[in-house]
Each structure stands twice: as C-alpha cells, then as structure tokens.
A and B are shown apart, each in its own frame.
Chain A
Amino acid sequence: MLTMKNISKVFKTDLVETHALRDFNLEVNEGEFVAVTGPSGSGKTTFLNIAGLLEGFTHGDYFLDGVNISNLSDNKAAAIRNEKIGFIFQGFNLIPDLNLAENVEVPLRYRGFSAKERQRRVQEALDKVGLGARMKHLPSQLSGGQQQRVAIARALAGEPRFLLADEPTGNLDSLMARQVMELLEEINKAGTTIIMVTHDPELARRAQRNIQIVDGQVCDFTLYQGGQAHVAQTEQKVAS
C-alpha cells in the first residue's frame, strides 16, 4: 500500500541544514492501522506530510498504491490527495464560515462530483459519525469531539483507501478521545488503512503496529494484538 525507501528530507536555510528524515524506510500494508510515535521534533509530522503528499522530499522513493509519486506534478499530487487520502488534523481544520454539510462537501467539490452525488455522500458520512441531523450547524456550535467527527466525516466522504490522522485526539478530553478512537477502529475494520501520529502510548497500543521515530529514522516497531505487545524488534538503529 505505502512503501518508503531511503526517504530523506532536508530543510535548508542560509545558516543551517536540518535533516528531518534520514534514510527513512517503511512499508504499510493495505488495511493496517499503524500508530506513529516519537518525541517532539523527531520527524513525525514531516513523515506524515510526505506520506500525505503535503510536501516533497529530498531523496529516496515513495510508492503509494504501487505508483511512484517521487516526481508528481502539483496537480497530480492534489488529485491523489483528493481521491486516495483522507486527512484528520489535530485542530480539526474545519472551515468556520461553512456549515457541517458544506465542510464535508469541500473535497467532493474538488473531485468534481455532481450535486446529487455530493449530497448523498455528505449525508452518508455525517450519518456514519452520528451527526447527520446537524448538517446546517456551524463548527462553532459543536463540541471539540463533534468537530473532530465532522473532520472524520469529511475525510471519509471521498471513500479514501488511506487515512492519515495527525494527533486526532490531541485537542480532546479522554471521553471524546475514546469515542474518536472507537470510530477510527471501526473505519479500519471496514478496510481503510490508517496511519495515526500520536503522543499518547495508550492510543498507540490500540493500533496494530506502533512505529517509533527518533531523529528522523524508524527506531523500532512493535506489533500489538488485543492491546498486548506481541512482537518487538528493531528495524533500524539510529546512527550515533
């Protein structure tokens, strides 16, 4: 599903070069639920941005669904983001001036769906997250958990095969975080591949696999089954 080979990302200024990712290798299979953890500044967000085609990389190869997306044009990248990838952001990133239906409709409009098809998908997606009756409400009229559910509905409406979640429960209290996690698990069970960046080890444990990034490299990964560590091994050692 997703294969990264020797991906490097270097941010350059006049004075300093920062290696955000170094020889980063990763393979995620279809239908997996992968949690990505690591300390602040370790490269988690850079990895997520590259995986989601939100920014490019300096070296290496990246295959998504078998397609090498190393040298994609801006428009092609936008089309892949729109069709294959769903995004869930820590701050929800809903558009405050649009109501829930209009927010969920945003990626569908870029996809070029007819009004009828958009309406069907919006209704379905909002029903799925339990907010089908509040389509005309504005984001500001919802709680944080509800807003994140709208963001999940927006990510799901385009029926992506791949969901990228950036700290999806980071701004939520524990009850709402649990609800959102249950929703993500449900989505994953339905067949959608999920990669979730999180600081929370408890949440990471609920994924099938936990990848830890340190200093821009995959430090180790852990396989979980039923909430218990099943296998643990080091894939790469951080160059000292």
Chain B
Amino acid sequence: MLNIKPILSTLMRSKSGPVLLLLQIILSVAIVANASFIIHERLGMMQRDSGIVESEILTFNMYNFDPSIDRVQQNQLDQQLLRNLPNVMAATSTNMLPLSGSGWSSTLNLGPDSETAQSTPQFAMYLGTEHTLETLGLKLIDGRNFYPDEINTSLTASGKLAIVSKALVDATWPNESALGKVLYEGEDTQITIIGVVEKLQGAWIDSGDLEYSVIQNVDWGGRSYLVRALPQHHAELKQAITDVMLKENPNRVIDDFQSIKAVKESSYRDHQLMVTVLSMMVVLLLLITSLGLTGMVMFNIQRRTKQIGTRRALGATKADILSLFLTENYIICVVGGVLGGGLAVLLGQQLMQHYDLPQLDLLYPIMTVLGLLLVTTVAVVLPARKAANISPAMATRSV
C-alpha cells in the first residue's frame, strides 16, 4: 500500500497509544476466538438430533400406593386408557427418559465367555413395548418392531429381544448387519437384535456414548409413561390423563408432567447459560475494542488537526486522509490479530488440557481477525471521515 512505510514510522515513534490498543486487540482475539469456538461447540451439542420427536412427547410419573393391586395388569390397563384418550397418537411405559440425565446404562458381551469376549460400548438401556418406536417417533431402518406377544413383564424372563441404535451397530459391528446378532448378559442370558433405529440418544448429554442405545422388550411399567400428542394438546391432556387415571384408581399420585423438549432444555441449561454468557462477553469485547479504536482515532484527529490540514494543503484528497487512518488501524489490527491468533491457539491448548475441550479449530482465530477488520472499518470510518473533512485552510491557522 502507498503509505505503509511512513505510517509505520509514525506508529513506531509514538508507541504508547498503539501498543495499548495492540494489547487490547491481542487479548480480544485470543478470548473471542476461543469463546466463539466454545459457543459453536455448545450450540452444536444442543442442536444434535436426538432421534425422537421431542416436542410431541409428554411424560409423567404415576405413584401407586395400593399394595393389593396387580401391578402388571394395572400397568397394561393404564396404557390402554392413555391410548384411548382423544388426540393421543401413541403411549407406552418406560424405565427412563431420554436426555434427562438419569436412567439405565449397561455394556453387554459379544460372546458367551465373559473372560474372553469383547463387549459393546456403554449404552443407554431403555425398556419398552411395541408402542415405544411410535411413541418416541423413532425411524426403524433395519429389521422389525417388537410384536405384542414378545413383550415381557420382567427383566429375568427368557426370549430377550433388542432394537438398537445405528451408532451402536457402527461402533460394535462396523460394516455388518446387526440383525440376528446376539448380546450376552453373562453366559446364560442372550439378547437377540431384531431391529435397528436410525438414531436414539440416551440420557446423559455430556457422555461420549450418548448415541448408543438399546431398547429391550420389557414393559417395565408402573411409574414413568410417555404419551405422544401434538404440543397444542398437551395442556388439556395433562388434566385428561390425571382425571382418567384417578377415576380408574384413586389411590395414586400423578405428577411431573413435562414434555421431552422441556426435559432437554433443562438438561442443556448449563450449556445454554455458557453460550449466553460467552456471547455477551464476545459482544462486549468487540464493543470495547471498537470503542478503543474509535477513541484512538478521535484522539489522533484532535492531536493531528493541523497535520491533516497540512496534508490536505500539500495535495491529499479526502480519500487519502480516510485511507491514512484506515491503514494505520489496519496495521495495528493485523499485527494484533496475528499475535492474538497465536495466543488463541496457546489458550485453546490449555483449555483442551484442563477442561476436556476439543482442539481449537484454526478457522476461529482467522474468522475472528476478519471480524475484527470489519469492526475496525466500522469503528474508524466515521471519525476518519470527520478528519477527511478538515479544511486544508487549517494549515495556515494558528491552532
């Protein structure tokens, strides 16, 4: 560029202002790059597809206190009553709620000899019925659903079947079909895989095994239920479910109505909070940096009013003056950006070591510097235009 050398000379000879601004930019780039990376990573986590129709599923708990009832029969009757309610698309019992942070997990062996057999990764173990796929809105991509007569009412019953998530299949039997494969609980208990769903997340959102899930053919019943209906019917269904359940058996308590969407939001609350706080920090840092830039330009304009007038008298156009201030600040911004980018990588490495974060993608420091160039342009252009409008006659005035 035309004026880089004399501008560099000027910056080198009046260092204090530019050095302070440079430090601010270095720190801003290092922090903003890492914060943006964490924000993006957290938003990515929150936007992961759970495989289920979160907003349509209403869940509640039912506590029976009557010791004389047949729990199995009561459970089946209750589920039928739920399915008969208007606007209910499907309903089933469950042992755990997806994305809730609490539930069952297990690993199973791939062979009968527990000493030598390899095992599956840790997975979430759902207990469900032939209604589970429809209630959760899961997409079956291989095999079949449970038949009604295959549903057990006890974990110890024989004839154990499973529908598993594709992620678990890919991790356990890469490039193979899982249908007919047998999982072993010790030497005697076998679970045969009959179906594969495209996606089903477990309960623990921060776990690396979140995508690994198994649904066993067990109607666990008696406590947690899932009811699928369009969100606009949820409010009326809460009352209808309470009424119909208490009418059937008044000696119980029904509560904890919430949608899976709400369960998910609750689980991701800390992540959402971090995204919000970091976003505010990024905006504030960029604002402070832009104010710093604007402040320095305004200070320089005031300090150099006569000099600007002289430059105009010597033949500088308004565009030359604008370019002078933009170039001066672009130099600071680029030097600060490069140093800040390096610091961002070092900071990223420390965060990776101490807080179990993935390695900082270099795109983030680069994008931050580009963003900063944009901020610099916006912050500098307005005061610099004011400078460009200084009359060349200022050169002959005694100011």
Contact = CB atoms under 8 A, between A and B. Distances in A.
A89 B310 contact: yes
A90 B306 CA distance: 13
Main SS of chain B's interface residues? helix
A83 interface: yes
A216 interface: no
Given A54-B391, A75-B317, A45 B396 contact: yes
Interface in A7-64: 45, 48-49, 52-55
Contacts of A54: 312-313, 391-393, 395-396
Interface stretch (B2-10, B128-136, B336-344): B2-10
Contact of A110 (B5, B314, B393): B314
A109 B2 contact: yes
Contact of B398 (A53, A91, A97, A99): A91
Contacts of B317: 74-75, 78-79, 110
B316 interface: yes
Contacts of B316: 78, 110
A102 to B, nearest CB: 5
Contacts of A89: 310, 395-396
A101 B14 CA distance: 18
Contact of A74 (B310, B311, B318): B318
A82 B307 CA distance: 16
Chain B's interface size range is 20 to 34
Nearest to B391: A55
B398 A95 contact: no
Interface of A: 45, 48-49, 52-55, 74-75, 78-79, 81-83, 87, 89-91, 93, 95, 97-99, 102, 105-107, 109-111, 138, 154, 158, 166
B10 A81 contact: no
Contacts of B398: 90-91
Nearest to A138: B13
B313 A52 contact: yes
A201 to B, nearest CB: 21
B395 A93 contact: yes
Interface of B: 2-3, 5-6, 9-10, 13-14, 306-307, 310-320, 391-393, 395-396, 398
Contacts of B313: 52, 54, 81, 87, 93
A139 to B, nearest CB: 11
Contact of A98 (B10, B306, B396): B10
Given A81-B313, A93-B310, 12 more contacts: A48-B396, A55-B391, A78-B392, A82-B315, A91-B398, A95-B307, A97-B9, A98-B9, A99-B9, A106-B311, A109-B6, A110-B314
A105 B315 CA distance: 12
The 3 closest A-B pairs by CB, nearest first: A82-B315, A110-B315, A107-B314
9 contacts: A78-B320, A81-B313, A81-B315, A83-B315, A90-B398, A91-B398, A98-B9, A110-B316, A154-B314
B3 A109 contact: yes
Nearest to B320: A110
Nearest to A111: B315
Contacts of B392: 52-55, 78, 81
A102 B307 CA distance: 14
A72 to B, nearest CB: 12
A74 B43 CA distance: 52
Contacts of B391: 54-55
A48 B313 CA distance: 12
A48 B395 CA distance: 11
B396 A49 contact: yes
A156 to B, nearest CB: 12
Contacts of B6: 98, 102, 105-106, 109
A100 to B, nearest CB: 12
A45 B398 CA distance: 11
Nearest to B11: A97
Contacts of A78: 312, 315-317, 320, 392
B315 A97 contact: no
A53 B391 CA distance: 11
A136 to B, nearest CB: 10
Contacts of A52: 313, 392
Contacts of B314: 81-82, 87, 106-107, 110, 154
Nearest to B318: A74
A52 B319 CA distance: 20
A9 to B, nearest CB: 11
Nearest to B392: A54
A196 to B, nearest CB: 13
Interface centre among B5, B306, B310, B318 (most CB of A within 10 A): B310
Contact of A107 (B315, B318, B395): B315
A107 B392 CA distance: 13
Contacts of B306: 91, 93
